[in-house]
Each structure stands twice: as C-alpha cells, then as structure tokens.
Amino acid sequence: MSIIDRSLQLAIAQAVTASAATTDVIDAGATKNAAIGRDLGAGEQLFLEINVTANCTAAGAATVVFSLQDSADNSSYADVVATPAIAIANLTAGRTIYLPLPAGMRRYVRGYFTVATGPLTGGAFNAQIVDGMNYNRPYPDHL
C-alpha cells in the first residue's frame, strides 16, 4: 500500500487538456556541492505514482506521456524518466501508472503531462512520490 505524504504530492486532481507541468514542484534542498546529485531516489526504490482521477476524453485519438523531470534552477527542466505514449482509451478513472525514480536527480523535481494529437477535452490526474507500488486488484464479492 502506498502512503502519500502531502509534501511529496505534485498534482491533486489536476485537470489536463494540453501539455503541462504538475502544479507543484519538490525542492530537495541545497547541498554544499551543486554537482552532487540528490538522495531522492537512492536507497529504497521510490516511484512517481500517477492516478487517473477523471476519464481522459478527446475529439480524436489523443495520447499522453507521463514524465518525471528535474532541474538545478527550478527553471530549465529535463525528463529523467517517461512512459511511452498511452492512448486515452487506457486512461480511465482509477488507473494507476508508476515510474521508478532514478538516483542522483537534481534539486527540483516535477511531473509533466505531454498531450499528443490532442487536445484533451477532459481528464485529471494525481501525481505523487511514493515508496511502493499499490497493485490492489478488486475482486467481486461472492455471497
């Protein structure tokens, strides 16, 4: 089960219709040597967990790429890990996507939603850093 820490949340039910960064950024803090990578992602495996909170819809066959980005200055961001393009048919409420955090990221961390062949006409996401993947599979009740 994933435990969500508010200070590690990057987006809460963020509506996305076009490519956009998450509403929040994590600042891992300064170090004495800016060339040294962060400890975020080192040691126990951490993940960027993305939850689809509202079905993605579009007039056409839109896709979304989810990425984790880092930056040294909270201005110039670059992808450190990303999903392949995911078709909107596979982005329904309740779906969860995970990206493993690599070790050695720079000071600032955010998520990014890249919409292709869009725009989306609907869709919303949560995004947070968690310490494990939650693959609870619902089963029907049997009486």
The tokens 């951490």 sit on which residue? 46
Strand order in the sheet with 47-58: 9-15, 120-130, 47-58, 96-100
pLDDT, tens digit (0-9, with 9 covering 90-100), for 49-68: 999 999 999 988 899 999 99
**pLDDT at residue number 131:** 85
Q: Distance of CA 49 to CAs 36, 128, 133, 139, Å?
A: 25, 5, 8, 22
Report residue 110 CA to chain centroid gap: 8
pTM of the model: 0.86
CATH topology of domain 6-26+42-130: Jelly Rolls (2.60.120)
Supply angle C-alpha 87, 93, 97, rounded to 5: 60
pLDDT, tens digit (0-9, with 9 covering 90-100), for 81-114: 999 999 999 999 999 999 999 888 888 999 999 9
Please answer whether residues 63 and 116 qualify as being in contact, where contact means their C-beta atoms are separated by less than 8 angstroms. Answer: yes
Each domain of the chain, given as residue ranges in start order, spans 6-26+42-130
pLDDT, tens digit (0-9, with 9 covering 90-100), for 2-45: 567 777 899 999 999 999 999 999 988 776 666 665 666 567 88
